[in-house]
Structure 1
Amino acid sequence: MASPIPSVLANLSSLTTLYLESCGLQGMFPLAIFRLPNLETIWLSHNLDLTGYLLEFNFSNKLKKLALWNTSFSGELPASIENLSSLEFLGLGHCNFSGSVPSTLGNLPNLKFLDLATNSFTGSVPPTLGNLTKLDTLDLHDNYFTGFIPSELTNLTQLTALNLLGNMLHGSVPSSISRLEKLKFFDCDDNRLGGILEMDAFLELKDLQYLFLSLNNFYLVSPDNSNATSPQAQLVDIGLRHCHLREFPYFLRNQHRLQLLDLSSNNIKGQIPQWMSKVSVETLLFLDLSNNSLIGFDDFPLVLPWSKLQYLKLDSNILRGSLPVPPLSTVFYSISNNSLNGEIPQLLCNLSSLSILDFSYNNMSGGIPVCLSNFSKSLLVLKVRSNQLDGPIPSGWATGNRLKMIDLSKNKLQEKIPKSLMECKMLEYLDLGNNQIRDAFPSWLGSLPELNILILSSNAFYGRMENPKLNLNVFPKLRIIDLSHNRFNGTLPWGYFERWISMKNLDGKNSPPKYMLESLDMRINLMHVPRDYDYSMTITNKGMEMKYPKIIRTLAAIDFSNNRFDGEIPKLIGKLKELHLLNFSNNNLVGGIPVAIAKLTNLESLDLSENKLVGRIPMELSTQLTFLSFLNVSHNRLTGLIPGGGQFETFQSSSFDGNLGLCGKPLLKECSSNSGSLPPPSLTSSGEFGLDWKVVLFGYGCGSLFGVVIGHVVIKKKPDWFANTFSKFPTRRRRRHVL
């Protein structure tokens, strides 16, 4: 429809139902429609451009159902809402409502469904909601509610779903929760709740299927002497992340229908007990045991027993021994940051459904099996960073594969890069850094149409980077390249600078930030399941690792440091206007610093140190590089007055050390009358870009969105999860709390 709601509808006095879901409506909703005397249903959900507010209901009508999900209705809920005495269904989720919830909302005697989720409601949850004795569903998730969970809510004996996720509630869960005998769904994730919480209070609720208690400050108590003969709730999904657990809860022994089990970020130590291998063997789809202190599996079978498992996350434990092999159904398998050793098991190559495979940061040794390069056409991410793997890179990359990220960095891989990598036509990220690869520059990788990031640092690459042929479109989407710490020589490859169009003009740079991630193609219809896998990047320079837990799609960087490049910096560098990081340090570059570098107005880090550059520092660098927060031109042959003003006022003397001809602040050396004035703008050719920083030289002036120090920030944030009570009620998650 894509049009406003015609106001003439307000004249239809006999109208009983107005159903306009997903019609592309826009503009202001005619408030007079609320006054129609016979109207029983107003259903306007999923019209994001439809605005409006709730007027004062100082009149009587027959309204039973009001659904405004996913519209742009705003304002506060009027206290007069109590006059809608026939109302049975009130769906206001995913709108822009704010303010406190009036206590009069508890005076609607026929209300069965109440959804206020994903708004900006504040204040306490009104205890009067406990008067809504017919209520079946109460959804308050992702607001700003504070205070306690009212004990009066346990008067709602007809309640089947209670969702309090993502608020700022504190105190404890009322012990009388066990009175809600019909409760099937309870979620209080990501609040500030605490205290000792007895698991038995939930297990007594025979109909309970979905229980989420994560990201609070609970001390969960699950007695070892639970009576296995008494009826217990058979849970389907259970989230107990960050519940101060010290062992696997005893009650899990009697759970036979689990599909999701999250015990991550607890204090569970020792081995995964043998009895866990019998828990929900035929139903479990999702298992997250990451961020504990687990050391291994106690007498488990060679292949893990959960026959339908799709998501397995065991990161950040102290698991030892060989790499566990998940079942054939697995789509996501991450076991990074452990102490695994031994060779990569061949059985891993049977996992033809696998999309994400990450066993980085372990002590795995031996070669990478050839089958790992072609075992699954579903594989999107292969990440084996920081192990002890040796031998050649597998050469059998299959035609038609879907790989988008390959990270083999920080191993002991040798020989040349196999040209079969050209078959990875969808590849966006390739990191082979910190190995023992001996090869010329793999110019043939320029044929990969989607390659965004290429990291070949700290290997034994050698020779000249010959300029590509004039008619060749190479590396069309490349925006981050790190060739540092190799043996490249010859002049800087101006022909590549000319063709790196993604560094000249990045699409969507004025749009909201977008990060490199991979959507998980899991056939799991579960709540609280992460749907994306974020790419991360680590760049090591000068002995310092800079970690990007997320990679923003507009970041552009070049690092050619610590090679043997010579000649002048080409003027073409000034065309790469989207560069944020540029590093040509520790080479044999000569000539002046090109004034064209001043055209790189997004530049935040510039390192030209340890070369043979001569002449003055162009004054344009101080006036035009307003985001520059790191500069190092030390140990060259520069002369004259150091420019003042702008970001140059923030740089320390170490940024300019080792240039005997430089003078002026921040150096102690004063300029003579012959060197005290700055020359006109330089006409020399322009310079290079990179990622090699010395923290001691950081300037602390203004920085842009990407500030150089982002590399040090390790973001710990709950993933963007679906948290819906029912699939027909979509959730726009808004995470605020960080653990």
Structure 2
Amino acid sequence: MAGFNGTIPYQLGNLSQLAFLDLSRTRVFEFGIEFERGGKRYSPSLVWTEKLRKLKYLSLSGVVLNMTGKQLEGPLSHLHNLQHLHLADCMLSGHIPNAIQNLTFLSHLHLGSNSFEGSMPLWLANMTRLVSLSFYGSQLNGSFPLSLSNLPTLKKLNLGGNNLLSGNLRQILCRDWSQLTVFILYRSSVIGSIPSCITNISTLVIFDLGSIKKMEGFIPSFIGNLFNLRNLYLDGNLLKGEIPSSLGQISSLSILYLSGNLLSGTIPFQLGELSSLESLYLNDNQLQGNFFLSFFQNLTTIYALDLSNNELTVIIESDWIPTIYFEYLYLASCNISGIIPPFISTQYRLTSLDLSNNSMFGNIPDWLGMLPNLNNLNLSYNILEGLVPYSFNISNFNLLDLHSNKLQGPLPISSMSLGLRLLDLSQNEFKGSIAVDIGNLLPNIQFLSFSANDLSGEIPSSIGLLQQMEVLDLSKNKLSGKIPSSITKCSTLKILNLANAGLIGEIPYNIGMLSSLGSLHLNGNMLKGNLPSSLKNCSSLQILDLADNLFYGNIPLWLGQFSELMMLVLRSNKFEGHIPHQLSNLSSLHVLDISHNSLIGGIPPQLATLISMRNSTLGISHGNGGSFYYYEERIQVFNKRLKMEYVRSVMLLITCIDLSSNKLSGNIPPAIGNLKGLHTLNLSDNRLTGEIPSNFGMLKELESLDLSNNKLHGKIPNEMLQVFSLSFFIVSNNMLCGKIPEGNQFNTFNSTFFSGNPYLCGFPVNKKSCRCGERSSYNMPSPLPKKEDDGVEIPWHWYVEWMASAAVGFWGVFGILAIKRQWRRKFIQVLDEMVINLLNGLINR
């Protein structure tokens, strides 16, 4: 029996004569067994196997057994004649059942995609009939079992996907694997480089050491001696140097994955002689030089090619008529210029095409949308213009990404869009309104972005019909009206970005129905009212940005319930009342910005317990909150009085508290000094009194501290000299006195950082003496305005803001330097010197 179709028509007694039983793709309701095709399949027990004593082949792969190894001992103990046992993806746990070692005829054992505990048992080395052994993705740990090389008939070994499995590549491969044809060890924790002894395994057909990360060195030239090799996977490692030309000697090679390494040099011409080559992935390396795509002209079997994200310049002759037909062609970031290459019109087999991040211009040709099998198209980050052709048969597409071009006209959505799952038309010049019946036109959409266009009109209520949507981004448009309440019916929504969209009214009261929401951007609108209490049902929120609106009332206490919240931005609203101490429960918080409101009272000392800000080593292991992988999260934070925009990969490297421009009073809680992972602290423009806490010297990661425009008194604590990372320290317009600390970073600060404190002395304010404690009260001076030639007064902060605009571009280019701390500090020091020099110039005018 090669499997079943429907219900088993036999009684259990008849099954006892079976030699072959494959239930992995079967739906069965009999004998207390329940299997279901498609999705999950279940079996309450395996007692029915006791009668199958003549069984030689058993496959239950994909059936949710949900059993431990100990529970499997009994059912397996009766199957003495078993030769093939396939229990992959069965939700097995615990230890690998010992009963397997008694199956003396077993030749094929496949237990992958389970959750076993511990290491592989030693008794596996005694199963001398094993031909094929697979434990891929089974969470095994410990050392690679070297004794497996003693199995005389072992041909296929798959231990990939066990990222806790350790060992040394030389020790593993330099053993007697004379029969081995398949060796798979991807995504493990082995270390070392590929040893020369690999050539002793001349029988290898599939060799997979992908995504090991700890494998380094070069791709050795002797790997070209593996003449039987068909599939070679070395992707996702730290391999460097050139691609060896000896790979061209492996005439049988059909799949070659070298992507995601540090490979440099040119692509060797010998690869163009691999007559059996079908898939070539060289993307995400540092390959260089000009490369003619016609180089592959003679590889008639090739159907997949990825050269993306290198330093290559791919040249495609305009008159090239290829004799090869791709199914997957990825040429992103390949310095391709000119119009969309005409040869693509011949690629009738093409299903996926990526030409993003090149320099292509002109219109999108009509023929591109007519390719019969094309369903994934990415033309983003080019200079394409004009209308999307009417001939574009969008119904064929699963993914269509045209963002960051200069495309115009109305949104290209019609009744032909039914199959789309991802549509990104952002950062173009589309005009007009969103189709009223968009909910009927895109029923299968999961990712939808019209951001940064010139769209107008209201968000149609039919948006609520998009029941599979995970990401909706309509930000940076000229929309009008309210957020439709129907949007709360999009129960799968994980990211909602309506920032700077021109919206008015209140947040829908039942927004809590979006229980899967991980990111909510409503900043930069004219929204008002209290925050709806139903929002607390969005317990998966990681980013909440409501800045620059008209929200009022108290900051809700229930905001402290969001245990996964990393970014809370309520800047520039009309919130009043006290800062709720419940915010200290936000254990994942990296950014707290509630500046520019009307908050009163003291700073809650409980904020010092914010866990993610107490550690000097930031936790950057947060997941994407269920966010759709294609979406690039961004958030704006003020740092050193500059508005900085951070992408997600960087935003988790910063910690920030901004309580500025409120009506806060009282002393600064000394406990804030316990936030040792804090990078930015802004308490300026409040009514704070008391002294600067001396334990601020414990803030070793602090880069920016702004205490200006308060009523602080006393001395600047000398302990601040210990904060070596501090590059922006402004205490202007307070009532501070005494000598400014000397040395270290304080020698780089400008006098403007200390202005408005008449009783401060020392460098850089150029006062030789001052007294602290005997002065009389005085009014804080205001900064003197500057005048242009026309007599209009220009506030001093206008110049700072002007400089900020220039600096944002500088920071945007080099923001990735934030990943490495010492690079970041050096870069910040250079930037600060620039700002200080500019301020000096303004002060001396």
Band of TM-score, shorter chain: 0.7 to 0.9
Write the distance in 2 (CA, Å) between the matches of 1:5 and 1:671. Answer: 79
Write the distance in 2 (CA, Å) between the matches of 1:541 and 1:207. Answer: 55
For residue 465 of structure 1, what is the amino acid of its counterpart? G
Write the distance in 2 (CA, Å) between the matches of 1:474 and 1:56. Answer: 53
Write the distance in 1 (CA, Å) between the matches of 2:140 and 2:195. Answer: 25
Q: Which of the residues 736, 740, 748 maps onto 1:642?
A: 740
1:731 aligns with none
For residue 624 of structure 2, what is the amino acid of its counterpart? L
2:529 aligns with 416
Alignment of 1:232-247 (within 5 A): 232-235=324-327, 237-246=328-337, 247=339
1:562 aligns with 661
User: By how many angstroms is 1:552 displaced?
Assistant: 5.3
Residue pair 2:531, 2:551 contacting (<8 A) in 1 also: no
2:625 aligns with 518
User: By how many angstroms is 1:162 displaced?
Assistant: 1.2
Q: CA RMSD in A?
A: 4.9
1:370 aligns with 484
2:710 matches 1:611: yes
What secondary structure does 1:714 align onto? helix
Q: Which of the residues 217, 228, 246 maps onto 1:134?
A: 228
Write the distance in 1 (CA, Å) between the matches of 2:118 and 2:473. Answer: 45
What secondary structure does 1:162 align onto? strand
User: By how many angstroms is 1:188 displaced?
Assistant: 0.8
Residue pair 1:296, 1:320 contacting (<8 A) in 2 also: no
For residue 425 of structure 1, what is the amino acid of its counterpart? C
Q: Which of the residues 349, 352, 355 maps onto 1:263?
A: 355
Q: Deviations over 1:23-43 (max 9, x none)?
A: 75657997x998998775565
Write the distance in 1 (CA, Å) between the matches of 2:686 and 2:520. Answer: 29
Write the distance in 1 (CA, Å) between the matches of 2:483 and 2:522. Answer: 13
Q: Which of the residues 287, 291, 294 maps onto 2:384?
A: 294
2:577 aligns with 465
TM-score (norm 1): 0.74
Write the distance in 2 (CA, Å) between the matches of 1:80 and 1:474. Answer: 53
Q: 1:143 to 1:516 in 2, by over 3 A?
A: closer
TM-score (norm 2): 0.65
User: By how many angstroms is 1:125 displaced?
Assistant: 3.1
Matched residue count: 660
Q: Deviations over 1:59-91 (max 9, x none)?
A: 995543344433534334379849643221222
2:442 aligns with 327
User: By how many angstroms is 1:155 displaced?
Assistant: 4.2
For residue 278 of structure 2, what is the amino acid of its counterpart? K
Residue pair 1:203, 1:233 contacting (<8 A) in 2 also: no
Residue pair 1:292, 1:317 contacting (<8 A) in 2 also: no
Q: 1:291 to 1:39 in 2, by over 3 A?
A: same
Residue pair 1:41, 1:65 contacting (<8 A) in 2 also: yes
What secondary structure does 1:669 align onto? coil
For residue 616 of structure 1, what is the amino acid of its counterpart? K
Alignment of 1:261-660 (within 5 A): 261-280=353-372, 284=375, 286-300=376-390, 301-303=412-414, 305=416, 307-314=418-425, 327-336=442-451, 338-343=452-457, 346=460, 348-360=463-475, 362-371=476-485, 373-387=487-501, 389-395=502-508, 397-401=510-514, 402-411=516-525, 413-417=526-530, 419=532, 422=535, 425-426=538-539, 427-435=541-549, 437=550, 439-443=552-556, 446=559, 449-450=562-563, 451-459=565-573, 461=574, 464-466=576-578, 476=586, 480-486=591-597, 488=598, 490-492=600-602, 494=603, 497=604, 500=607, 503=610, 512-515=619-622, 517-520=624-627, 531=629, 533=631, 535-540=633-638, 544-550=642-648, 556-569=655-668, 579-595=678-694, 603-622=702-721, 628-644=726-742, 648=746, 651-660=749-758
1:87 aligns with 180
**Structure in which a larger fraction of residues adopt helix:** 2
Structure 1 gap segments, 5+ residues each: 522-530, 678-693, 699-708, 719-739
Residue pair 1:77, 1:97 contacting (<8 A) in 2 also: no
Q: Single out whichever of 166-175 and 579-588 deviates more from structure 2.
A: 166-175
For residue 244 of structure 1, what is the amino acid of its counterpart? N
What secondary structure does 1:110 align onto? coil
What secondary structure does 2:513 align onto? coil
For residue 491 of structure 1, what is the amino acid of its counterpart? G
Alignment of 1:683-698 (within 5 A): none
Q: Deviations over 1:507-531 (max 9, x none)?
A: 998685224633346xxxxxxxxx3
Alignment of 1:669-684 (within 5 A): 669-671=767-769
Structure number with greater Rg is: 2
What secondary structure does 2:636 align onto? strand
User: By how many angstroms is 1:379 displaced?
Assistant: 1.2
Residue pair 2:583, 2:607 contacting (<8 A) in 1 also: no
Q: 1:715 to 1:392 in 2, by over 3 A?
A: farther
Q: 1:642 to 1:483 in 2, by over 3 A?
A: same
Q: Single out whichever of 377-386 and 426-435 deviates more from structure 2.
A: 426-435
Write the distance in 2 (CA, Å) between the matches of 1:209 and 1:502. Answer: 56
User: By how many angstroms is 1:503 displaced?
Assistant: 1.8
Alignment of 1:9-20 (within 5 A): none
For residue 514 of structure 1, what is the amino acid of its counterpart? S
User: By how many angstroms is 1:257 displaced?
Assistant: 5.7
Write the distance in 2 (CA, Å) between the matches of 1:102 and 1:195. Answer: 30
Q: 1:598 to 1:206 in 2, by over 3 A?
A: same
2:815 aligns with 714
What secondary structure does 1:192 align onto? coil
Q: 1:102 to 1:483 in 2, by over 3 A?
A: closer
Q: 1:561 to 1:510 in 2, by over 3 A?
A: closer
Q: 1:348 to 1:33 in 2, by over 3 A?
A: closer
Q: Single out whichever of 298-307 and 314-323 deviates more from structure 2.
A: 314-323
Residue pair 1:635, 1:657 contacting (<8 A) in 2 also: yes
Q: Deviations over 1:186-230 (max 9, x none)?
A: 2111122244444455576555443221112333344555659x6
Residue pair 1:146, 1:169 contacting (<8 A) in 2 also: yes
1:684 aligns with none
Residue pair 1:220, 1:244 contacting (<8 A) in 2 also: yes
User: By how many angstroms is 1:465 displaced?
Assistant: 1.4
What secondary structure does 1:517 align onto? coil
Residue pair 1:504, 1:578 contacting (<8 A) in 2 also: no
What secondary structure does 1:352 align onto? coil
Residue pair 2:682, 2:706 contacting (<8 A) in 1 also: yes
Q: Deviations over 1:377-431 (max 9, x none)?
A: 11111123345x14324435444213222212234x2543553663652333222
User: By how many angstroms is 1:271 displaced?
Assistant: 3.4
Residue pair 1:403, 1:424 contacting (<8 A) in 2 also: no
What secondary structure does 1:143 align onto? coil
User: By how many angstroms is 1:139 displaced?
Assistant: 0.9
Q: Which of the residues 197, 210, 224 maps onto 1:117?
A: 210
Write the distance in 2 (CA, Å) between the matches of 1:664 and 1:86. Answer: 80
Write the distance in 1 (CA, Å) between the matches of 2:432 and 2:269. Answer: 43
What secondary structure does 2:552 align onto? coil
User: By how many angstroms is 1:558 displaced?
Assistant: 2.6
What secondary structure does 2:305 align onto? strand
Write the distance in 2 (CA, Å) between the matches of 1:513 and 1:713. Answer: 20
Write the distance in 2 (CA, Å) between the matches of 1:373 and 1:14. Answer: 60
1:661 aligns with 759
Identity percentage over the alignment?
Answer: 29
Write the distance in 2 (CA, Å) between the matches of 1:536 and 1:609. Answer: 28
Q: 1:428 to 1:505 in 2, by over 3 A?
A: closer
User: By how many angstroms is 1:242 displaced?
Assistant: 0.6
What secondary structure does 2:368 align onto? helix
2:155 aligns with 64
Q: 1:534 to 1:302 in 2, by over 3 A?
A: closer
Q: 1:446 to 1:712 in 2, by over 3 A?
A: farther
Q: Single out whichever of 72-81 and 395-404 deviates more from structure 2.
A: 72-81
